[in-house]
Amino acid sequence: MGSVVEEIAEALTWDGVRCVISVFVVTTAEAAPQVNFRDGEVTPSQVKVYDLTADEDYLPGRHVFEYDLIFDAVPEELEAYLEVCLRRACEGAVVAWLAFEGSFSYDYLLAPEVAGQIYGICAPGARAELALEGEVLASERWRETLQRYARALRGPG
């Protein structure tokens, strides 16, 4: 693993006990989409789903769900697994992204201020984009990529 992938792996084990990969999904469905996060032998020991849909009308006609994929240890081939998770989460979504625990806020939805906490994003029909290299995660290009997705979220439902 490269150094930033190692830093991401370390951040995913923030509680010192488990690895938690947080996947955020914006969809037009009122219920959380069923997503298969198993990839070969890599299977979360637990998947917790949270409805983050705001009472306020931040995203009219859209619902936000967080999936916390819990592992006893960081999956081998983390980068490949993250890409699989992101692609699968995008099926039936408007936008899906990978971000660190505690990074979600409607006030800063995919905003430049939180770009360093979001390390993957995609939409249906588009390739999954991962920012697993330090220069990418901290780049203006990455902030612009997230802003492009943020604009798509605000578009017609």
pLDDT digits (tens, 9 = 90+) for 43-61: 999 999 999 988 767 888 8
pLDDT of residue 91: 92
Distance between CA 37 and CA 121 in Å, rounded? Answer: 16
Q: What is the pLDDT of residues 139-155, one digit of tens each?
A: 899 999 999 999 888 76
Q: Phi and psi (nearest 5°) for 130?
A: -110, 140
pLDDT of 1 strictly over 60: no
How many CA within 13 A on the CB side of residue 98? 26
Q: Name 155's bridge partners.
A: none
